[in-house]
Amino acid sequence: MLDILKVTYTAIIALALSHIPAASAATTPQLGKSPIRDVVKAMTLDEKLALIHGTGMLVSNGNGPVVGSVSGAVPGAAGTTFAIPRLGIPSIVMADGPAGVRIDSLRPGNSRRYYCTAFPTGTILASTWNTEMARLMGKDMGQEAKEYGIDVLLAPAINIQRNPLCGRNYEYYSEDPLVAGNIAAAFILGAQSNGIGVSLKHFAANNQETSRASVNALVPIRALREIYLRGFEIAVKESQPWTVMSAYNKINNTYCSENPWLLTDVLRRDWGFHGIVMTDWFAGRNYPAQLMAGNDLLMPGRKAEVKRIREALAKGTITEVDIDKNVERILELILQCPAFKRYRYSDNPQLSAHAQTARTVAEEGMVLLKNEQQALPLAQGALTVLGNASYDTYIGGTGSGEVAKAYAVSLAKGLANAGYHIDGNLLQAYHHYLSAEKAKQPKRTSILQKISNLPEKTWTVDELQQMAEHSEAALITIGRNAGEGSDRKADDDYLLTDSEKSLIDKTAKAFHAKGKKVVVVLNIDGVVEVASWRDKADAILVAWLPGQEGGNALGALVSGRVTPSGKLAQSFPMRYADVPSASSVAFPGEPAAHPDSVRYDEGVYVGYRYYNTKHIATAYPFGYGLSYTSFSISGLKLSKRTFDGELTATVKVKNVGKYPGKEVVQLYLAAPALSMDKPTEELKGFVKTRLLKPGQAQTVSFTLDARALASFSEKTGRWVADKGTYTIKVGNASDHFAQKATFALAHGMTMKP
Ligand code: BGC
């Protein structure tokens, strides 16, 4: 049915486009050859209306949403634009997403598979705190997109991890906008170095999935500027993404896609964005308002959009001149695209090189939370590997961030690859158990359908004692998955289930009785509760959703071939109730059954800004992560004692332990609170060192500009830095500062937004 609709719609558009003014081919302007304005002038209204919306979307063979295509575009891509051949305008193709290119691996009548690399997800990429890793992953993902015929990659997704229960946190980077913005900028520069574009999404404050298409986020302007927009601002200014995707939700009563303040004043005027804005898929209600607001392209494209815009044109609420602006910008985008350049893509990206990148990023992004008495690394030998997710590892989340990959290395397989002896009987037992349990689950018919966590396979005390007898240590994996379309729950999701707690408890008793260690691996999409059970584990390692090479990355860390160097890009609270947005009014909003509005009353006090300022202890703080080695941070020097527009801080970091490793040096700033209240610390810079051998040192430097000192004043609509004493705190976590120094600002400063 939908197929028929799609064909009919395409036919109608084709027909409409055939009613064009008579003009000889010689005099018809051509995109790329004639000035864009001339091309726009030569377009009929029908052609303009075709160009400002995509070619539509259909649902195919029960495998979830798949896009229809004009002339043979890439199956499984998320959207395409209309081609207007008489003006030399090709169709361009867009595909998700943040953890790898999302296209169909199967094509009718073709026996080969079109696999893509399942890279580590956004959260684990950010946990590397390594912009070089982000650039590399962006470059590889961009190459893969280009070689499969994609013009615009719908990534990265950098909404703030405001609350641990957001279903899409796995795609997102951090609770801090500096981490999110810098990692995103590096990813974008890497991706766009291939000559394809990205879509930085979801602009903005799309921090929950509950009622995502309509919820009204009531966010104070200061919190918007400092937290929810700041990451986008950094990424836009530093990497000029070709496109930005406006978010589904409303901010302060206006849909993001219909919001001229957001899309024109802030994005274009304040930040100097030159690209196009497209809607998220089917976002917003008022299509003419979207165009007027500066939302150029309506995706994936619907008939109703054109109808409403025609009505608005007839009424005069929008004019053809208004639409010309959108059209011009879309043409500028198309001009840069591989499709316009007739790039002959190979359909053969460098998958094995990209798998290597996926592995390296996963190795750098896993975070060691606990390591009592150097439980890790584990010596080679027999390992008891427990927990469903050890064998059926979650490598990515669900929704548009899913990837059709060639393979996935489970954590158990990765440990075996790293040389550990994994009991074959245990492996068999888990395989039987998991296939039987999965068979009981309803068939998954859409990418928006969550994957249910299965109850843990249980073991008797006797069995665990036997295992403890015959192996050197136990490794238990706790798995969590989430994704687009719904948020997580506190019970049995944020909190561990009874069967998981019992598995940890019984295993710890059996193994500790024999003097053997227990390692817990968290294969999770987002933060889970750890405080109530962590005493039972000797070591805890967060593997996140690590991509297709996750198992091999874990093997490298557990064996000590690689020293962990990931740091948390979000706080792990002691209890969910401690989260600043824990009340239901704050997340996911009210009324409870179907929230239509959500209050961001915590303002800028998100994550560590809140825990530090209010002195609320966390289980593991933002910026935290252990290593097998240790580092000293010393010799903090400031380039000046009085700020005059720019200041440089340098510090020496030395590996004083026994393993080669990398450290993340973090600079926080405490600013005077004269005109506004301030968090006690805010991250203003971070550097990941190169691999330092024991005894080796590196000097790292940070530059602070005037904006780094400032907060956004709602009163004046400007960035304001108060005069007074500023304290720089340098360390390796948001609660651990090895060095401090102060500087003065003699006179307050204000800056335009
Ligand atoms: C998601 C976007 C995605 C788009 C296209 C939407 O549902 O929110 O992130 O890019 O679909 O697949």
Of all residues in the chain, the percent with pLDDT exceeding 70 is: 95
- What is the DSSP secondary-structure string of 665-690? EEEEEE---SSS---S-EEEEEEE--
Q: pLDDT tens, 640-692?
A: 999 999 999 999 999 999 999 999 999 999 999 999 999 999 999 999 999 99
**Residue 696's CB: how many other CB atoms inside 10 A?**
14
Nearest ligand 1 atom to alpha carbon 157: 9
Ligand 1 pocket residue status of 402, Cβ below 6 Å: no
d(CA 460, CA 583): 40
Ligand 1 pocket residue status of 201, Cβ below 6 Å: yes
**Greater pLDDT, 448 or 185:** 185
**Residue 381's CB: how many other CB atoms inside 10 A?**
11
Ligand 1 centroid to 191 CA: how many Å?
Answer: 18
Please say whether the beta carbons of 748 and 710 come within 8 A.
no
- For the cut 70, the answer to whether the pLDDT of residue 60 exceeds it is no
d(CA 199, CA 201): 6
Which residue has a Cα nearest atom 3 of ligand 1? 400
Ligand 1 centroid to 609 CA: how many Å?
Answer: 30
Ligand 1 pocket residue status of 663, Cβ below 6 Å: no
Q: pLDDT tens, 596-640?
A: 999 999 999 999 999 999 999 999 999 999 999 999 999 999 999
Strands (E), 299-437: 367-371, 382-386, 421-422
Which residue has a Cα nearest atom 4 of ligand 1? 281
Which residue has a Cα nearest atom 8 of ligand 1? 280
Average the pLDDT over 476-502 and give the result. 96
Sorted by sequence, the CB contacts under 8 Å of residue 410 that are 6+ apart come out as 390, 391, 392, 393, 550, 551
What are the CA-CA distances from residue 448 to residues 399, 444, 482, 491, 592 (Å)?
5, 9, 10, 21, 22
- What the block records as the tokens of 10 is 């395409």
Test site for ligand 1: of 281, 282, 298, most ligand atoms within 8 A of the Cβ: 281
- What the block records as the tokens of 258 is 């219909």
How high is the pLDDT of residue 108?
84
d(CA 9, CA 6): 5
Which of the residues 46, 96, 104, 280 is marked catalytic?
Answer: 280
What are the CA-CA distances from residue 611 to residues 446, 642, 671 (Å)?
38, 30, 17
With the C-alpha atoms ordered 349, 353, 355, 358, is the resulting torsion angle positive or negative? negative
How high is the pLDDT of residue 109?
87
- For the cut 60, the answer to whether the pLDDT of residue 70 exceeds it is no
- For the cut 90, the answer to whether the pLDDT of residue 4 exceeds it is no
**Residues 569/172/209/712 CA torsion (nearest 10 deg):** 70
Mean pLDDT of the chain, nearest integer:
94
Q: Where are the alpha helices (DSSP H) in 399-538?
A: 411-417, 424-439, 461-470, 498-513
How high is the pLDDT of residue 26?
64
280 flagged as catalytic: yes
Ligand 1 centroid to 704 CA: how many Å?
Answer: 36
Ligand 1 pocket residue status of 78, Cβ below 6 Å: yes
Nearest ligand 1 atom to alpha carbon 155: 10
Q: pLDDT tens, 10-30?
A: 444 444 554 555 555 568 999
Burial class (CB in 10 A: 0-12, 13-18, 19+), 310: middle
Task: Please state the pTM of the whole predicted model.
Answer: 0.96
Q: pLDDT tens, 200-248?
A: 999 999 999 999 999 999 999 999 999 999 999 999 999 999 999 999 9
d(CA 561, CA 547): 19
- For the cut 90, the answer to whether the pLDDT of residue 576 exceeds it is yes
Nearest ligand 1 atom to alpha carbon 171: 9
Residue that the structure tokens 């509950």 belong to: 210
Ligand 1 pocket residue status of 281, Cβ below 6 Å: yes
Average the pLDDT over 57-67 and give the result. 47
How high is the pLDDT of residue 73?
83
- What is the DSSP secondary-structure string of 114-153? -----PPPHHHHHHTT-HHHHHHHHHHHHHHHHHTT-SEE
Which residue has a Cα nearest atom 7 of ligand 1? 281
